[in-house]
Amino acid sequence: MTSIFTVSPDFTPDHLSGWFIFNTWLQKAMDMHLHLQLYDDFDSLHRAVASDEIDLIYANPYDAAMLVRDKGFKPLVKPEGKADEALIAVSESSPFQSVEDLPPGTRIATTGDPDVHLMGMIMLEPADLDAGSVSLKHCESYVLVAKELIKGTADAGIFLLEAFQDMTSVTRSRLRVLVKSQIHVVHHALMIGPRLAAHRERMAKALTEMHTCEKGAGVLAELAFPRWEAVEDEDMEFMIDLMDALNT
Amino acid sequence: MKDMNPADIVGEYREQTLTYHDGTSRKVLVTDIETPYPEGRLIVSCTDPDGIITQCNQSFVEMSGYTREELIGMPHCILRHPDMPPAAYKDLWSTVQRGEKWQGFVKNLRKDGGYYWVKATVVPNVRQGKLVGFTSVRRKPSRRKVEECIALYPTLF
């Protein structure tokens, strides 16, 4: 039987091949069939989750609550030292020097990345801005968010920190960061579904030891983090409670 | 809880006595020095069902002025500022005891007698249908909301 593995569609495309290599490594390590199925957007991913098609997922923190509480998923591991952080940037020539300078009606460029969008909106609150008082412009990628700022068709943009750092130095030099989150405890996690529950312990062990063998370390290098760290049920519950508190 | 220690206080202070929901009281020493909320940070803490701090992050430690060791095991009301109306805490507790989220703007008291304003959200932690504690997450409030609270809260005593 083939199980379906997927990756939240918010990862940076640079790491696409890394996930295919990881899938191959995991199949060998676990001696099981896994098919890496990627979805173009969150709507199609959520439809697949709703119809119980997914068995293993590298999930963003926003989706973790639904996966744990509604679909019986359990956490396995998270990338060591890789928290999800967001930032708000403006064009280099923007008159706005701090978030508090942004007026009602500000045009905000953002992506469909739900946790990054949420963190970004929280960082706009000190300016008394919320979804009702800004004009949101949804972009398909962070590069397009940057373009909106540079063209002057948006006043401020919400970025995943990692995606911002991955942009070319020319692009970054045309932008100015107003605020960066330092939350530290919001992260993606690899999560296992009920049909694979019996394999949870063995898979967690294989993943947390992955960096100790040469092949495993090479695969992790493709994914751009040094090792997987175990995530206990309570760690995940804590993050879900935190996201719940933020989503208010 | 022990009374606040004058040796810990920075600047001129005034003394007030706070009486908590359980009838106990504590002498607090307060100054007019505000610590600005740090940009981009969240202050996070967890308590047991009785409001005793079980976990807190580094931002909580830095903003409160206490060490982590001083905080763990203490009632969360160690941060209670005498300018906060008791009605606000009553509303907080009755809301979370019903299993609902509470959100509000809170003036917190630091160990050094100063204060900081937060936008706080408290969520009940439910595990296998049982309430095991609360998670409190604080973020930077807008100045306009803080000014509204500065005007409103004295009227609620």
pLDDT, averaged across chain A: 94
Find out whether B65 and B113 touch, Cβ atoms under 8 Å. Answer: no
Find out whether A11 and A116 touch, Cβ atoms under 8 Å. Answer: no
A122: nearest CB among B136, B139, B145: B139
What mean pLDDT is predicted for residues B65-79?
96
Q: What is the pLDDT of residue A140?
A: 86
Cα separation, A230 vs A72, whole angstroms: 18
Residues A28-67 have pLDDT tens digits of 999 999 999 999 888 899 999 999 999 999 999 999 999 9
% pLDDT > 70, chain A: 98
* φ, ψ dihedrals at A103, nearest 5°: -90, 165
Coil vs helix vs strand at A177: strand
pTM equals 0.90
In sequence order, which ranges of A70-141 are alpha helices (DSSP H)? 114-124
β-partners of residue B102 are: B122
Enter the tokens of residue A94. Answer: 């923007």
Coil vs helix vs strand at A104: coil
Enter the tokens of residue A48. Answer: 């697949």
Find out whether A104 and A129 touch, Cβ atoms under 8 Å. Answer: yes
pLDDT at A87 over 90: yes
Residues 6+ apart with CB under 8 A from A17: A222
Distance (Å) from the alpha carbon of B17 to chain A's nearest alpha carbon: 32
Residues of A with CB under 8 A from a CB of B: 100, 122-123, 125-128, 179-185, 237-238, 241-242, 244-246, 248
Q: What is the pLDDT of residue B21?
A: 82
Enter the tokens of residue B51. Answer: 């409001």
| End-to-end Cα separation, chain B, in angstroms | 23
β-partners of residue A150 are: none
Enter the tokens of residue A239. Answer: 């993050």
- Range in A54-58, A92-96, A107-111, A112-116 the model is least confident about: A112-116
CB contact under 8 A, B46 and A127: no
Crossing angle for the helix pair A61-69 and A233-246, to the nearest 10 degrees: 120
The CA radius of gyration of chain B, in Å to the nearest whole number, is 15
The number of CA neighbours under 13 Å toward the Cβ of B154 is 5
Residue B114 is which amino acid? G
Find out whether B104 and B95 touch, Cβ atoms under 8 Å. Answer: no
CB contact under 8 A, A238 and B136: no
pLDDT, averaged across chain B: 95
Residue from B139, B143, B146, B149 to probe the interface with A (highest A Cβ count within 10 Å): B139
Residues of chain A with Cβ-Cβ distance to B38 below 8 Å are: 182
* φ, ψ dihedrals at A238, nearest 5°: -60, -45
Q: What is the 3-state secondary structure (H, E, C) of chain B?
A: CCCCCHHHCCCCCEEEEEECCCCCEEEEEECCCECCCCCCECEEEEECCCCEEEEECHHHHHHHCCCHHHHCCCEHHHHECCCCCHHHHHHHHHHHHCCCCEEEEEEEECCCCCEEEEEEEEEEEEECCEEEEEEEEEECCCHHHHHHHHHHHHHHC
Q: Which residue in the block uniquely carries the two structure tokens 């040094």?
A: A226
Q: What is the pLDDT of residue B156?
A: 94
Enter the tokens of residue B138. Answer: 């604080």
A125: nearest CB among B39, B44, B142: B142
Distance (Å) from the alpha carbon of B60 to chain A's nearest alpha carbon: 12
Q: What is the pLDDT of residue B147?
A: 97
Residue from A116, A119, A182 to probe the interface with B (highest B Cβ count within 10 Å): A182
Q: What is the pLDDT of residue A11?
A: 64
Distance (Å) from the alpha carbon of B135 to chain A's nearest alpha carbon: 7
Q: What is the pLDDT of residue B22?
A: 83
Chain B, window 12-51: residues with a beta carbon less than 8 angstroms from a chain A beta carbon: 37-42, 44, 46
